[in-house]
Amino acid sequence: MHRRLATALSASTLALVTVVSTAAAADAAPADKPQVLANWTQTSASSYTTWAAARADQGAWSAYAFDWSTDYCSSSPDNPFGFPFSMSCARHDFGYRNYKAAGAFDANKSRLDSAFYEDLKRVCVNYSGAKKTSCTSTAWTYYQAVKAFG
């Protein structure tokens, strides 16, 4: 009787461990998550474009469990003087939040801030003359703020 009970308990325990292990493996982010995150947070325009496409189709990336939340430009205007900086701020938030969650923020902060500045400058290329100068100056101010306080 005791032997049958012990065998049944062992089999049940083994089955439970297998189910829990399988569930944990299914919940784990794909192994290339750090590479995907790095690809989406570079200073290049192609990095920004790839991130923006993924952001528009977040469901396709759900297995990666990225944090897509944003408060855009935090307490600064999202579109200062009419310059549309909100998406640049959203990508910056994406980098900050996901690298903090990965425990790799300090090693990547400088690049994230530089990518933010490059994104802002890409907004400014759409202007000319005094408006472009104003945009570029505002971009520099936003960059200096995140560099110092971000």
Distance of CA 112 to the CA centre of its chain: 10
Q: Would you list the DSSP string of 51-102?
A: HHHHHHTGGGGGGGT------TTTTS-SSGGG---HHHHHHHHHHHHHHHHT
**Active-site position among 92, 117, 135, 139:** 92
- Packed helices 86-101 and 105-124: angle between N→C axes, nearest 10 degrees: 170
Residue 2 bears catalytic tag:
no
Nearest alpha carbon to residue 77 among 133, 34, 127, 141: 141
One-letter amino acid identity for 62? S
The position carrying tokens 């000319």 is: 128
Kind and range of the H or E run holding 36: helix 33-39
> Which residues carry out catalysis?
92
